[in-house]
Amino acid sequence: MLALPPAPAPSRPRLLMLGTALASGAVVMLVAGMIGVYLYWRGQDGGFTTSWLPAKVEMPEVPANTMMATMIGASVLVQWAAYAAVRGDRRNAALALVLTAIFGIAVVNAQAYIYRRLEMPLVSPDGRRYNTLFFTLSGTIMVLVAFATLAAVIGLFRVIGGRLGPRDGEFVNAVALFWHASAACLVTVWYVLYILK
Amino acid sequence: MTVTEARPEAADAVIAAARLEPVPATGGIVGWLTTADHKRIGLLYIGFGIFGIAGSLVLSALASISVAAESNYLGDALVQVSRLGTIGLVFTGVVPTLLGLGLAIVPLQIGARAIAFPRAAALSLWGWLVGTVLMVASFVANGGPGGGKGRAVDLFLLAFGLVIVSLLLAALSLVTTLLGLRTAGMSLARTPMFAWSWFVTGAMLLVTLPLLVGVVIYLYVDHRYGRQIFGGNDGIVRYTGWAFRQPVSLLYALPVLGILADAVATATRQRQALAGVVRGGIGFAGIVAFGALNTAFDPRVTSRVVFIAVSVVAAAPVLVVLALALRNLAAGKPRLTAGFAVSVLGGLLLLGAAAVGILYPIERLELVGTPFEAGQLHLALAAGIVGAIAGAAYWLPKLTGRVVPTGPAIGLGLLAALGGLLTGVGPIIVGFSSSSTQAGYGILAAGAFLAALAVAAFGLLALRSARAGASAGDDPFDGLTLEWATTSPPPPGNFAGELGAVQSAQPLLDRKEA
């Protein structure tokens, strides 16, 4: 009779990943709800066949598209960081996290540039709803990106401090998951705000 | 021939024990203020939550008397007092109290050594408490829905957001615990019904309340800077109203079904018959409570088909769970415990709250936007209040090591149920006939006072029992689930010894029958 060796001990539950997945789901619901409110008011203000932008306001498309592409790029980078961190590759993990954080800052910078170029007040002088809804929705996304960037920086410190490997690398994995959720939210908002207009 | 060598059971226990390091308890007030122990966090939630329930009910009663007596002695503050009563009852009363029970008991039920993210759970407690205090302060400063001072209204919106986010954090911690820290052998299908009900409720809260946070963000920005979109102060009630209507209102009391199933099974010492159907019923009830969210934002764009479907089916899962839980009564000889008796009342109130929804389609949706909605909400919240009393009477002996006297607890549960029923019946009458406004609000006021009195008295009873009650022993109710396998109160780390692999949904009964 051939006996197999005992089964390996089950790995420690990935609590951080579970919690991050749930938090990411909640964040997606938050953004989905806010997009729903935005679209509701847009529907009330004349439907979806014409642009909702106020007169004389021109949406700067190039920085908007750059922002979206940067966020997707950051998503790739943070996955690289997660891949490296789990395998104990400190140099690659640290490099990828530095780049991720820089990309995150670039996204926030692009959004700030868009705000500046728009020359549109937060509250419309003629009572249009668009202004407030636009700034609130895009601002919420920027808070998410800033939070994700902060998480990446914390992950960077952990990696530099040697917290790597299948177990300690879980934090970077969690950061990556949150980044992907944030990126999905940003891309959707980008489509709603800058493509549908 | 190949044989797979089974892992020794002891190894499972060791692995389970090593999953989380217990947080040592510190004594004194500092210990309570800085605690990351889920039992203490849960107890604090329960304590402050009971205070929130009683206070909110008194506010509702005061507002109702003002309407019923047509005296308007509250003047311009009538709307504020009424709204603070409703918002407070949901978010500073019923939900936190049931959440506190979940935080304290669920990890014990699933054999976890601690809760996931204990510091996040502690943060949620203090965030919720600070948010609650700020919310009340904003009302005092003439803010909140109906308030006349802009900055105070802004403060209310910020505080309201903080309260919701804090509750979300606690729900996240609880659901993660259920997913990741169950002891060896305990699949989700083997979790006790209360734990399962919190899994469903927590998951549904995590996908529902963020929508409310989003609306509150919009409301804050709009109110703070322009007041052009949501109608300023008036918009707060209108655009957050869906969180206080069917079907979301039913979600707040969903854990009552879990309390009922566990308490009845223990009282009858019977395994839950058709446990899978009961789980399915609780799960379906949770999904129904979420499924009609697309009816929520604006009644004018209500998806009538979904709303009517939810109105018709909402009672079915509650009825199934209630019927199957009570089926145990026929199979065994029940012992009269406060948890069992009071939780049945809570289950019946929840059934009532779900069942009256069928009146929406019968009345061709003319009840939408009337006080009938408030009546349905009050019935659901009454179920939550009564369920919280039942749960506290059932599990406080485990948490404090002291017995809560059965007779007084049942009496106060009955009183709370009667009061809660009246708080629902009053507005429902007004919803059908506006000429009955005085009578309806009079009934509401009487019910709210009665329920407030019962809740406050139960709080004092529980406090007195915890200080000077009779010793409960480790297993006062001859329980079936793992929380009764440890000492009362449980030690840091919850279980002193190894638990071994769980073989069924009633592991303690397995052990006793072996």
Alpha-carbon torsion, ordered A15, A21, A24, A26, to 10 deg: -90
A22 touches B at CB < 8 Å: yes
Q: Residue A142 and residue B10: Cα distance in Å, rounded? A: 50
Q: Which two tokens stand for residue B314?
A: 């909402």
Nearest CA in chain A to B116: A15
Q: Which of A3, A18, A132 sits opposite B229 (nearest CB)?
A: A132
With a CB-CB cutoff of 8 Å, which residues 114-133 of chain B face chain A? 116-117
- B-chain residues within 8 Å CB-CB of A7? 4-5, 7
pLDDT for A128 equals 82
Helix/strand/coil for B253: coil
Residues 6+ apart with CB under 8 A from B503: B185, B510
B163-211 pLDDT, tens digit each: 999 999 999 999 999 999 999 999 999 999 999 999 999 999 999 999 9
Nearest CA in chain A to B239: A37
Q: Which of B172, B226, B298 sits opposite A132 (nearest CB)?
A: B226
Q: Residue A184 and residue A74: Cα distance in Å, rounded? A: 12
Q: Residue B57 and residue B492: Cα distance in Å, rounded? A: 36
Neighbours of B78 (CB within 10 A): 16
pLDDT for A51 equals 78
User: What integer best gives the mean pLDDT of chain B?
Assistant: 88
Q: What is the domain partition of chain A in residue ranges?
A: 17-47+58-196
Cα angle A81, A87, A90 (rounded to 5 degrees) comes to: 60
Residue B486 predicted with pLDDT over 80? yes
Q: Mapped to the 3 state alphabet, what secondary structure does chain A carry?
A: CEECCCCCCCCCCCHHHHHHHHHHHHHHHHHHHHHHHHHHHHHHCCCCCCCCCCCCCCCCHHHHHHHHHHHHHHHHHHHHHHHHHHCCCHHHHHHHHHHHHHHHHHHHHHHHHHHHHHCCCCCCCCCCCHHHHHHHHHHHHHHHHHHHHHHHHHHHHHHHCCCCHHHHCHHHHHHHHHHHHHHHHHHHHHHHHHHCC
A8 touches B at CB < 8 Å: no
Check if the beta carbon of residue B246 is closer than 8 Å to that of residue B310.
yes
Task: Judge: B5–A3 Cβ closer than 8 Å, yes or no.
Answer: yes
Q: Which two tokens stand for residue B199?
A: 């899994």
Distance between A178 CA and the closest CA of chain B, angstroms: 15
B439-465 pLDDT, tens digit each: 999 999 999 999 999 999 999 999 999
Q: Which of A12, A129, A136 sits opposite B19 (nearest CB)?
A: A12
Is the domain covering A17-47+58-196 a CATH 3.40.720.10 domain?
A: no
Q: Lowest mean pLDDT of B220-234, B289-303, B310-324, name the range.
A: B289-303
Which of the two residues, A24 and B303, has the higher pLDDT score?
Answer: A24
Q: What is the pTM for the complete model shown? A: 0.91
Q: Which of A12, A122, A136 sits opposite B218 (nearest CB)?
A: A136
Check if the beta carbon of residue B155 is closer than 8 Å to that of residue B102.
no
Mutate to test the interface with A, among B113, B164, B176 (most CBs of A within 10 A): B176
Distance between B501 CA and the closest CA of chain A, angstroms: 14
Q: Residue B213 and residue B163: Cα distance in Å, rounded? A: 10
Distance between A74 CA and the closest CA of chain B, angstroms: 25
What is the full DSSP assignment across B138-193? HHHTT-STT-S-HHHHHHHHHHHHHHHHHHHHHHHHHHHHHHH-PPTT--GGGS-H
Return the residue matching tokens 């976890």. B112
Q: Which of B7, B211, B298 sits opposite A33 (nearest CB)?
A: B211
Check if the beta carbon of residue A71 is closer than 8 Å to that of residue A107.
yes
Neighbours of B54 (CB within 10 A): 20
Mean pLDDT of B227-251: 85
